[in-house]
């Protein structure tokens, strides 16, 4: 396989793809500048720091996956600093024309659509057009006569649909084939009522039906079809000009056709048209467009002052990471997860939320669909996103996406953004150093909260400080403190005969005063 690497401006992309096709090259494009639709927050990792060896290793991860999984075509990308910093296509868009996959190739992303639906619902909430804790039947009248599984079952809320806790049965095989269901048939299904797997709000059960209901709620509340509302709320403002819910309306020369691998050969899957279930999985997009979405979501972290210019406010985007209180444990996807610690994971609103012992906070979601498979992973602590889109039924490229992220982490490229050091914490840290140097609380004035001397009196502090100083001697108390929040921080000091580690905790008062200090001897 021949790989061509380019640093290019966007307007030259079509010409490069044409030349590459002519000479039989596989495209690997780096640093395509993409607007996130909001002022991007600088990631701690500059694109140029992803060295060639690391990128080559990431390429091998995806090449091996595409080969082993019988995938006709795939594109994958890395987003950092508000733009697509690395993107590469493998294989072909369709087996007939054998057009190579490019960053502009259009793929169905299946259930990765759910985040678009969820954020549109949250935007309607922000606009006072619906309430998350309102009964869903308030917006979908056909639900009012439903029979619930028990007399004491709570009625389904909008929030329950977002969190997959409405009591519906898991329905991937059935739900994936419902995308083109006509709206009038969906209305008939709702009027008849649906069976429940369990009472609502008792457990997590992934439900495409639930997100189809959210699509109906969007339509009824906005007064426009859900596809138009999602497009006008998110796709158009973010400049995702090639993305939408009408797969068959896109230019044929840009579409990745979907295939399934059956009897040791690829079989073409029929194109599923638009319909009532599109809100759960109907979006078609390209790597170039989808990177804008990833960059926009990541731009919501960290909370900060300044203009809030996105189509949905940053605080609302961060709600996508608020879980449903039905946690589960799982191994991290991919080969790297086999020996890693297990992740606690919750479903939130269009995103799976997991805390990984190496990667930190993660937002992820897969997409499985007749003819397609996809996965996205967001790492908001470091401002990095990875995704992959493929054109084989249930290709499920979660493994290579997570393995690539772990590779970036092991090479030091996923450093968390530092928490800003606020003036109150910096001032209190000066007191922490003075207390150690003096060996007592003398001279600290009103630096301490009212509980401080009640929890340990001045004599007790003098004894503890004397023991510490006898053990490690004088310390360099000018070393920087690491803020863990605006009111908490950790520090490490190098001393004459050892080291001290500690933390300081301020009280929620005006001005903030010290409620706790800890000093302890430590090793490097």
Just give the CATH number of 423-522.
3.10.450
Tokens of 336: 């790297």
Tell me which H or E stretch contains 86: strand 83-91
Query: Do 3-118+225-410 and 423-522 have matching folds?
Result: no
Please state, in angstroms and rounded to a whole number, the distance separating the CA atoms of residues 307 and 301: 13
DSSP state of 249: G
Please state, in angstroms and rounded to a whole number, the distance separating the CA atoms of residues 47 and 69: 29
**Phi, psi (5° rounding) for residue 100?**
-70, 150
Q: Minimal CA–CA distance to 199: which of 167, 241, 152? A: 167
Q: Tokens 């070393």 sit at which residue?
A: 479
Angle at 157 between CA 155 and CA 160, to 5 degrees: 110
Strand order in the sheet with 343-347: 3-7, 26-32, 83-91, 73-80, 384-390, 372-379, 360-369, 352-356, 343-347, 328-330
**Contact 234/287 with Cβ under 8 angstroms?**
no
Instruction: Return the domain boundaries, the chain.
Output: 3-118+225-410, 423-522
Please state, in angstroms and rounded to a whole number, the distance separating the CA atoms of residues 221 and 215: 10
**Contact 298/79 with Cβ under 8 angstroms?**
yes
Q: Minimal CA–CA distance to 281: which of 189, 201, 215? A: 215
Just give the CATH number of 3-118+225-410.
3.40.710.10
Q: Minimal CA–CA distance to 286: which of 39, 25, 429, 93? A: 93
**Residue 316 CB-density burial (10 A; 0-12 exposed, 13-18 middle, 19+ buried):** middle
Per-residue pLDDT of the chain (524 residues; tens, 9 = 90+): 333 333 333 333 333 333 333 223 333 333 333 333 333 232 333 444 799 999 999 999 999 999 999 999 999 999 999 999 999 999 999 999 999 999 999 999 999 999 999 999 999 999 999 999 999 999 999 999 999 999 999 999 999 999 999 999 999 989 999 999 999 999 999 999 999 999 999 999 999 999 999 999 999 999 999 999 999 999 999 999 999 999 999 999 999 999 999 999 999 999 999 999 999 999 999 999 999 999 999 999 999 999 999 999 999 999 999 988 899 999 999 999 999 999 999 999 999 999 999 999 999 999 999 999 999 999 999 999 999 999 999 999 999 999 999 999 999 999 888 999 999 999 999 999 999 999 999 999 999 999 999 999 999 999 999 999 999 999 999 999 999 999 999 999 999 999 999 999 999 999 999 999 999 998 87
**Contact 482/398 with Cβ under 8 angstroms?**
no
Please state, in angstroms and rounded to a whole number, the distance separating the CA atoms of residues 409 and 45: 11
**Contact 113/280 with Cβ under 8 angstroms?**
yes
């Amino acid at each position: 396989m021949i790989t061509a690497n380019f640093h290019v401006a966007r307007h030259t992309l079509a010409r490069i793809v044409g030349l590459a096709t002519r000479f039989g090259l596989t495209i690997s494009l780096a640093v395509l500048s993409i607007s996130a639709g909001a002022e991007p927050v600088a990631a701690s990792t500059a694109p140029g720091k992803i060295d060639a060896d690391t990128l080559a290793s990431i390429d091998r991860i995806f090449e091996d996956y595409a080969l082993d999984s019988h995938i006709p075509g795939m594109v994958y990308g890395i987003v950092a600093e508000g733009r697509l910093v690395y993107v590469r296509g493998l294989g072909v868009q369709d087996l007939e024309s054998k057009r190579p996959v490019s960053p502009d190739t259009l793929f169905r992303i299946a259930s990765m659509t759910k985040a678009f639906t969820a954020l549109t619902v949250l935007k309607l909430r922000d606009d006072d057009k619906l309430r998350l804790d309102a009964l869903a039947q308030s917006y979908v009248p056909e639900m009012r006569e439903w029979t619930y599984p028990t007399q004491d079952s709570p009625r389904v809320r909008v929030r329950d649909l977002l969190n997959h806790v409405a009591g519906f049965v898991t329905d991937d095989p059935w739900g994936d084939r419902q995308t083109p269901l006509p709206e009038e048939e969906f209305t008939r299904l709702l009027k008849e009522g649906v069976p429940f797997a369990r009472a609502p709000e008792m457990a997590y059960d992934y439900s495409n039906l639930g997100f189809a209901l959210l699509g109906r709620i969007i339509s009824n509340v906005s007064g426009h079809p859900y596809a138009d509302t999602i497009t006008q709320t998110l796709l158009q403002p973010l400049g995702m000009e090639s993305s939408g819910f009408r797969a068959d309306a896109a230019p044929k020369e840009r579409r990745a056709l979907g295939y399934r691998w059956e009897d040791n050969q690829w079989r073409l899957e029929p194109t599923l048209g638009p319909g009532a279930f599109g809100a759960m999985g109907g979006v078609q997009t390209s790597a170039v467009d989808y990177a804008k979405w990833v960059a926009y979501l990541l731009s919501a972290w960290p909370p900060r002052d300044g203009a809030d210019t996105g189509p949905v406010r940053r605080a609302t985007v961060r709600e996508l990471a608020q879980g449903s209180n039905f946690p589960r444990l799982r191994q991290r996807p991919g080969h790297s997860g086999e020996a890693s610690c297990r992740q606690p994971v919750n479903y939130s609103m269009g995103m799976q939320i997991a805390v990984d012992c190496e990667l930190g906070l993660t937002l992820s979601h897969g997409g499985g669909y007749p003819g397609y498979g996809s996965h996205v992973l967001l790492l908001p602590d470091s401002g990095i996103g990875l995704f992959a889109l493929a054109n084989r039924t249930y290709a499920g490229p979660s493994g290579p996406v997570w393995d690539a992220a772990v590779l970036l982490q092991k090479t030091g490229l996923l450093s968390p953004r530092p928490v800003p050091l606020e003036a109150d914490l910096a001032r209190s840290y000066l007191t922490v150093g003075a207390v150690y140097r003096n060996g007592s609380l003398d001279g600290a004035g009103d630096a301490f909260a009212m509980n401080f001397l009640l929890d340990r009196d001045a004599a007790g502090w003098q004894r503890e400080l004397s023991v510490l100083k006898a053990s490690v001697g004088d310390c360099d108390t000018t070393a920087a403190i690491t803020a863990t929040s605006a009111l908490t921080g950790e520090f490490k000091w190098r001393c004459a005969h050892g080291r001290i580690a500690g933390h300081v905790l301020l009280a929620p008062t005006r001005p903030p005063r010290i409620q706790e200090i800890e000093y302890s001897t430590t090793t490097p």
